[in-house]
């Protein structure tokens, strides 16, 4: 592969990341807006990892650590660059971050309907847990 570089997002990258997710990511959430990613970046500027191939944004992952658990969100690779190891490289970088922070287990938010991603997560050693259901409540304020 050409010059693949994985590194943290800068504040200047955040609007481009949102545009990228509209092309490369499945689904949206209430925090998928500029204010949401700015809060993430302000709280933990190392959590949002970007993959760039020859300078072009081709992948993302959010590797969030709350001091207790390691959470993965928004693993996304541009459709024109999939199946080239970019997702695997992003996951490896996220897992290295978690290990350096003392994390012991990572979990990932993966849409049930995103069956195309299930094989990639399985190949990376992740599996769904049948005994958990995610319960959510939007907070308004």
111-123 pLDDT tens trace? 888 888 898 899 9
Answer yes or no: is 129 within a domain. no
At 115 the pLDDT is 87
Answer yes or no: is 132 within a domain. no
Q: Domain range spanning residue 34?
A: 4-123
Answer yes or no: is 69 within a domain. yes
Structural domain count of the chain: 1
**Cβ-based neighbours of 2, under 8 Å, separated by 6 or more:** 53, 54
Answer yes or no: is 117 within a domain. yes
Answer yes or no: is 131 within a domain. no
| CA atoms of 64 and 95, how far apart (whole Å) | 10
CATH number at residue 81: 3.40.630.30
At 135 the pLDDT is 84
Answer yes or no: is 17 within a domain. yes
pLDDT under 50: residue ranges of the chain: none
């Amino acid at each position: 592969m050409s010059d693949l570089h994985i590194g943290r997002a800068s504040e200047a990258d955040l609007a481009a990341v949102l545009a990228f997710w509209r092309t490369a990511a499945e689904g949206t959430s209430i925090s998928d807006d500029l204010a949401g990613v700015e809060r993430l970046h302000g709280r933990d500027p190392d959590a949002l990892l970007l993959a760039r191939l020859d300078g072009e944004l081709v992948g993302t992952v959010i590797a969030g650590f709350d001091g207790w658990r390691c959470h993965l969100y928004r693993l996304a690779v541009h459709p024109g660059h999939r199946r080239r190891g970019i997702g695997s490289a992003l996951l490896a970088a996220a897992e290295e971050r978690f290990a350096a922070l003392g994390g012991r287990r990572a979990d990932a938010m993966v849409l049930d309907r995103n069956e195309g991603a299930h094989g990639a997560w399985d190949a990376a050693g992740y599996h769904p847990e049948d005994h958990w259901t995610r319960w959510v409540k939007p907070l308004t304020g």
